[in-house]
Chain A
Amino acid sequence: MSSILLQVIVSGLLIGAVYALFASGLTLIWGMMNVINFAHGDFVMLAMYTAFVVWTAFGGGPLASIPIAAAVLATIGVLSYFLLVRHVMRGPMIAQILGTFGLALLLRYSAFWYFGSNFRTLPDDILGPPFVFGDIRIDAPRLLAGTLGLVLTVLLHLLLTRTALGSRMLAVSEDATAAQLMGIRPERMQAIAWGLSAASAGVAGALIATFFYTSPTVGETLVIIAFVTVAFGGFGSVPGALLAGLIIGVLEALSAYWIGPVYKDVVVYTLFVLVLWTRPQGLMGKV
């Protein structure tokens, strides 16, 4: 295998892990509450600005910005639940869709108003020089984003499947009334789910900001691929999002390299449609 091809695959895996992290928060909300959060991309955008502010205010790198962004976004997530989602959940499906879509626009245009439309970037060498293995170069921020993306997605999965909190959250998603009879407070669990999902968007944003540009519309650019990842992996399945993210990342990179960047979306979406055709529940989703 040529070193360029190997580099293409490595690059694809790294961006794929970021897609997975981006998508896992989205899939969590769906799995818990059957709500599609259209504001997820804009949560990530706010986290990217948080990282930018942390850098400009006191020169903090990802070590500082990741926990800060996670905390800020968790707060925004919980607030969004109590102020908006809890109310629109009582309405028809369309109200939920428009509710979170409205939230997305509110956040996006608030960012336009507060931060302006300029593109911002963090310094290119914020994490030092790239790692070089023979002919393969891995940019430090991408390596950090890819690795943390993998680790956090796995941790999120373990939290949902191996802890009492996870079991309580799953119980609420299965049958909120029955869970309530067992002494679980559905609203609290749902608020925690929103907080967790937004916190994962916070981590994703702080990581992506180290190698991507930040602008008020950046969430819009990234969120489409996150929706595809969620549907591809199976709605509600965190491991599915991880697998799908990696597959999409590598597939995009390979098809862009072999066939041409204009056609990468054709290849990815063709596979997407084929998978949904044979497995409408996605790769790892429940029927």
Chain B
Amino acid sequence: MLRRGSAYSAFVAALMTFALPGPAGAQDTVKIGAIYPLSGNAASAGNFSKAAIELAADIVNNAHPELKDIPLAEGQGLPGLKGAKVTVIFADNQGTPAAGQNQALRLITEEKVHALIGAYQSGITVTTSAMAERHGIPFITPESVAANLTERGFKWFFRTTPVAGDFARAYSAFIREQKAAGQKADTIAVVNENTEYGNSVASVIREVFAKDGLNITQVIPYSANTTDVQPQVLQMKEKNPDVVIFISYTSDAILYAKTMKDLNWKPSILIADNAGFNDPSFVSSSGALVEGLINRSSFAIGKPGSVSALVNAMYKKKTGHDLDDPSARAMQGFLTMAEAINRAGSTDPAKIQAALRATDLKANQVVTGYNGVKFDEKGQNILASSLITQLKSSVYIPVWPKDKAVATVQLPYKGW
């Protein structure tokens, strides 16, 4: 019996040797979970972000000497982990905070990801990052801008994108400059969808504008994903504000563009806070109805041969569309995470967290137009920045501030 028993244990031990991974440190792949809306109403934007992240993973995993300023682009894989490749595991948040949370839990406990990025909608980033925080997994949101995300005292949460306060100050300075140049901007309406994203951006804009002496005369919150926006447009038509700021996701953005034309009303300055208005499927379906729309962006396709132009060409080859701003920011979030993991030289969450805290990317090392990436103690990127763009023949062109402008602003807003 004893002999049979020990033979059996020897057999099991032999099996286990095979089953065990190779020597410690020789990591084959690094797993990064990416939670995006791949179905549901933001699926269009989510799938463009997914394509951008896939491209970023390709830049990290394969040799791209033409992008040599971007960390990890030149060689193959992560040199800090013996050339390990990065695998992205995508999960669908279905546009709801609950589904996002479940997916985060699944990625952490079942897929055993080493880090997470996501989740497009601010309201879903709230729940998914809470799950990462509970399990001690580093989380970067490349695009969610709600102010409170970095005010929760989280230790594993980082944000590469500029936030609502940054845009609000940019809009305010822009409007005041236009006003000084003789453009009518005495009354301002803010129209926002009423989840985390819309509400928080609207309230920051109201705060900043009040301080800067800009007069918000009308605030119209509405339920996202609505069936009809005619009453909202008629409310504006009645009060006739000079400036309108929309904070909306894609489906509502399309309805606003159509309905404003149908009801024949437009303000003299129309501003869209990114999001739905930057979705390539918005621009291709409704761009002709909103000529001259003012927007914000952290990404502009630069001069031929520049890093942003090269990356854009790769993205266009992959998807048939130009790289849009939220997708470019998603890409930057992913590249930041990969760079930190490489520097950590390990997939140990605590080491990745420490590496993220020490991140110090310069302006020429990022794909977006940020001044770099460096996190404060709350996890916010203090070098994030954005510029103001204007839609001209369905392409967003940087028009402000002057040092980054490619064309001059044309106002009043033309529309259709």
Contact = CB atoms under 8 A, between A and B. Distances in A.
B304 to A, nearest CB: 28
A261 B4 CA distance: 77
A7 interface: yes
Interface string A242-269: 0000000000111011001110110000
Nearest to A117: B43
B39 A109 contact: yes
Contacts of A108: 39
Contact of A119 (B261, B264, B279): B279
Contacts of A124: 258, 261, 288-289, 416
A265 B288 CA distance: 32
Interface of B: 38-41, 43-44, 46-47, 194, 220-223, 225-232, 234-235, 237-238, 250-251, 254-255, 258, 261-264, 279-282, 284-286, 288-289, 416
A216 interface: yes
A64 B78 CA distance: 56
Given A119-B250, A124-B289, A261-B222, A137 B43 contact: no
A102 interface: no
A102 to B, nearest CB: 16
Given A137-B262, A215-B44, A119 B230 contact: no
Contacts of A257: 231, 234-235
A11 interface: yes
A4 to B, nearest CB: 5
A4 B238 contact: yes
Interface string A204-246: 0000000111011110011001000000000000000000000
Main secondary structure of the interface of A (DSSP, over half): helix
Size category of the binding interface on chain A: 35 or more
B186 to A, nearest CB: 21
B44 A117 contact: yes
Given A117-B47, A215-B41, A256-B231, 6 more contacts: A112-B39, A118-B44, A213-B251, A215-B251, A260-B222, A264-B231
A119 B228 contact: no
Nearest to A221: B225
Given A119-B251, A124-B289, A139-B262, A4 B47 contact: no
Interface of A: 4, 7-8, 11, 15, 108-109, 112, 116-121, 124, 130, 137, 139, 142, 211-213, 215-218, 221-222, 225, 252-254, 256-257, 260-262, 264-265
B237 A261 contact: no
A253 B288 CA distance: 27
Contacts of A225: 227
Given A137-B262, A217-B41, A262-B194, A252 B228 contact: yes
Of the candidates B194, B228, B284, the one having the most CB atoms from chain A within 10 angstroms of its own CB is B228
Contact of B39 (A7, A118, A130, A216): A216
Nearest to B95: A217
Contacts of B237: 4
B251 A8 contact: no
Contacts of A252: 228, 231
A170 B194 CA distance: 45
B91 to A, nearest CB: 15
Of the candidates B221, B229, B234, the one having the most CB atoms from chain A within 10 angstroms of its own CB is B234
Contacts of A116: 47
B277 to A, nearest CB: 12
The list of the 8 closest CB pairs from A to B, nearest first, reads: A256-B231, A117-B43, A261-B222, A118-B281, A139-B262, A11-B230, A121-B285, A257-B231
Given A117-B39, A119-B250, A265-B223, A142 B262 contact: yes
A11 B40 CA distance: 27
Nearest to B223: A262
A116 B230 CA distance: 28
B286 A121 contact: yes
A4 B254 CA distance: 22
B221 A121 contact: no
Given A8-B231, A212-B255, A213-B255, A119 B222 contact: no
B226 A261 contact: yes
B281 A119 contact: yes
B230 A253 contact: yes
A261 B41 contact: no
B281 A120 contact: yes
10 contacts: A11-B228, A117-B43, A120-B281, A124-B416, A139-B262, A142-B262, A211-B262, A217-B43, A225-B227, A254-B231
Given A119-B251, A213-B251, A15 B262 contact: no
Of the candidates B221, B232, B235, the one having the most CB atoms from chain A within 10 angstroms of its own CB is B235
A8 B234 contact: yes
B262 A130 contact: yes
B47 A260 contact: no
Nearest to A253: B231
Nearest to A14: B230
B254 A7 contact: no
A20 to B, nearest CB: 14
Contacts of B221: 260-262
Contacts of A211: 258, 262
